[in-house]
């Protein structure tokens, strides 16, 4: 699976120069939160803005999956979100579940997207800090997990490595000015401040039998 990581610049700006990278033919293009900025559902529905349409059109032109981080505004209730589009259609919007110190509102559910690149789990921004999110996406069959971020620090690389190793699924992190990919061995296989950047990610499905023993009392009949 060929991944395109866009950690700098808006979605529209990348769309304007996409022909420069046409030969790369990425299966998935991931933007950080700089891709869209803030999106108002009300203004989108009224046709005053067309951020979602731009994402869909870019996915149609590139014939791939587009994931873009943004802040969505529902009549003043803001959430950190990720917009997903594929082959010219909007597949959905995933919201961040865990909010730290009330910066924005929280979402309600996780989602795995069936794409031509495989089953894609989406963890938005600070959800990467919560193992339960990554575990749920992995247990439910994600082939890989994408995490659009706004701010990226060393902790994001550490968490991506740990989660990828513990739950056996590659994790793609793309934030403002930095991108990284961790594979199931717990290693960072790719990291760069360059934008756009391309990487061939090998999706390996490896399974092992894990046994455990614990005390368990059966009630008498």
pLDDT tens, position by position, for the chain (221 residues)? 999 999 998 887 886 666 666 667 899 999 999 888 899 999 999 999 999 999 999 999 889 999 999 999 998 899 999 999 999 999 999 999 998 888 788 888 899 999 999 999 999 999 999 999 999 999 999 999 999 998 888 899 999 999 999 999 999 999 988 999 999 999 999 999 998 999 999 888 788 888 988 887 776 55
For the record, the structure tokens of 185 come out as 């061995």
* pLDDT value for 17: 67
Per DSSP bridges, beta strands 89-95 and 65-74 are: unpaired
Q: Is the dihedral of CA 182, 5, 85, 41 positive or negative?
A: positive
Partners of 92 in beta bridges: 84
Per DSSP bridges, beta strands 171-175 and 178-182 are: antiparallel
Cα(27)–Cα(104) distance, rounded to whole angstroms? 31
Q: Which helix (H) or strand (E) holds 198?
A: strand 197-200
**Is residue 167 within 8 Å of residue 24, measured between CB atoms?**
no
* DSSP 8-state assignment for residue 155: H
Cα(27)–Cα(23) distance, rounded to whole angstroms? 12
Partners of 29 in beta bridges: 4, 66
* pTM: predicted TM-score of the whole model, two decimal places: 0.91
Per DSSP bridges, beta strands 112-115 and 171-175 are: unpaired
DSSP SS3 for 25: coil
* pLDDT value for 107: 86
From the DSSP assignment, how many helices (H) and strands (E) are in the chain?
5, 13
Alpha carbon of 215 to those of 134, 209, 218, 221: distances in Å? 28, 20, 10, 19
């Amino acid at each position: 699976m060929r991944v395109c990581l866009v950690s700098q610049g808006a979605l529209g700006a990348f769309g304007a120069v996409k022909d420069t990278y046409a030969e790369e033919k990425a299966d998935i293009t991931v933007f950080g939160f700089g891709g869209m900025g803030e999106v108002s559902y009300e203004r989108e529905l009224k046709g005053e803005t067309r951020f979602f349409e731009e994402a869909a059109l870019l996915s149609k032109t590139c014939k791939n999956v587009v994931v873009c981080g943004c802040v969505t505004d529902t009549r003043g209730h803001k959430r950190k979100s990720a917009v997903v589009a594929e082959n010219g259609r909007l597949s959905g919007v995933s919201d961040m579940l865990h909010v730290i110190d009330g910066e924005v509102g929280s979402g309600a559910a996780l989602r795995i997207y069936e794409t031509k690149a495989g089953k894609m789990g989406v963890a938005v921004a600070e959800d990467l800090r919560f193992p339960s999110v990554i575990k749920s996406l992995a247990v439910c069959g994600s082939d890989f997990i994408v995490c659009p971020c706004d701010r990226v620090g060393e902790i994001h690389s550490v968490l991506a490595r740990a989660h990828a190793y513990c739950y056996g699924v590659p994790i793609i992190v793309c934030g403002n000015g930095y991108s990284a990919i961790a594979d199931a061995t717990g290693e960072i296989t790719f990291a760069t401040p360059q934008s756009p950047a391309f990487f061939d990610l090998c999706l390996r499905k490896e399974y092992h039998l894990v046994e455990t023993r614990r005390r368990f009392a059966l009630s008498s009949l």
